[in-house]
Amino acid sequence: MTTSTLLTGLLADLAAEGAALDVVVADLDPAGWATPTPAAGWTVAHQVAHLAWTDDVALLAATDPDAFRALPDTHGMVDDAAAAGAAVPPSELLDRWRSGRRALADALVAVPAGTSLPWYGPPMSAASMATARLMETWAHGVDVTDALGLPPSTTDRLEAVAHLGVRTRGFAHTQHGLPAPTGDVRVELTAPSGALWTWGEPTAADRVTGPALDFCLRVTQRRAPGGLQLQTTGVAAARWMDVAQAYAGPPGAGSAHRSPPRDPTSYRKPTAPPRAGGAGRQPGVRPR
């Protein structure tokens, strides 16, 4: 798969995920926009405003990296930006978010191949930026649908979110003050379509298996580990699911569904043998 084909697929998924959330919020009345979400202090309007603001700064990173690097990185800037965006009329906020989504997609297409874009975490390619925006759009969409009593968006677009969750395993550990993990973890997830998505060596002793939706809810910290149908085998797999974090930022910045990680010293080697793995379809669209 070429980089351009990869990016095209990711941008199509990003547009579809944004459109799905747009349908949820477009016809809300003022009370609906003011509905509290699981993120403390944030309403539905704050969630959409945050997505609009992050798209804006991602656009700046893609079109003027020096200007992005010059932005102040101050404590509270995320909350301040969300509050400012939530204070405008919903129709104005929607227009801003919609135009920002389109502008960012156009900008990412124009990024030269091999270019690394600056970001709040490590620099990333245009494809990885699209993946990160897809992950965040979906995760904040979960906050919105939770607040409104609706089911989360559950499509095979979750493949990119799951892949980002796998790729950020080491990052999640270091963010929580733990040593970078060594050794592989086999991940086998059942997609919403019923397909099997796999990562890692089939013979790895440590394993994470279960529904892709549950894995994505966990790595975006939208659900605590205990309430999910994920099965872990091995110390490394269990530790990972406790600290999993697919987004840039300090630990604990996810939604209020998140539970604190356990003390790393509390893990014990399991006595049950690892489950035998099966060969699964390798996902077709993955960020680089």
Q: For residue 261, is it within any domain?
A: yes
Between CA 244 and CA 122 the distance in angstroms is: 17
Between CA 148 and CA 257 the distance in angstroms is: 15
Residues 13, 158 contacting (CB under 8 angstroms)? no
Q: What is the model's pLDDT at position 284?
A: 29
Do residues 143 and 239 share a domain? no
Q: For residue 273, is it within any domain?
A: no
Q: What is the model's pLDDT at position 227?
A: 87
Q: What is the model's pLDDT at position 73?
A: 80
Q: What is the model's pLDDT at position 251?
A: 75
- Report the amino acid identity of residue 177: G
Between CA 47 and CA 59 the distance in angstroms is: 18
Residues 165, 215 contacting (CB under 8 angstroms)? yes
Q: For residue 100, is it within any domain?
A: yes
Q: What is the model's pLDDT at position 3?
A: 60
Q: What is the model's pLDDT at position 64?
A: 98
- Note down the domain range covering 126: 3-153
Do residues 8 and 147 share a domain? yes
Between CA 33 and CA 43 the distance in angstroms is: 7
Among 153, 170, 191, the domain-final residue is 153
Do residues 164 and 145 share a domain? no
- Report the amino acid identity of residue 180: A
Q: What is the model's pLDDT at position 118?
A: 96
Residue 103 sits in a domain of what CATH number? 1.20.120.450
Among 153, 183, 212, the domain-final residue is 153
- Output the six-digit token pair for 38: 């699981």
- Output the six-digit token pair for 18: 């944004």
User: How many domains is the chain built from?
Assistant: 2
Q: For residue 271, is it within any domain?
A: no
Mean pLDDT in order along the chain per 10 residues (288 residues): 83 98 98 97 98 98 97 88 98 98 98 94 92 97 98 98 96 93 96 98 98 98 94 97 89 46 28 27 28
Do residues 24 and 144 share a domain? yes
Do residues 98 and 126 share a domain? yes
Residues 165, 216 contacting (CB under 8 angstroms)? yes
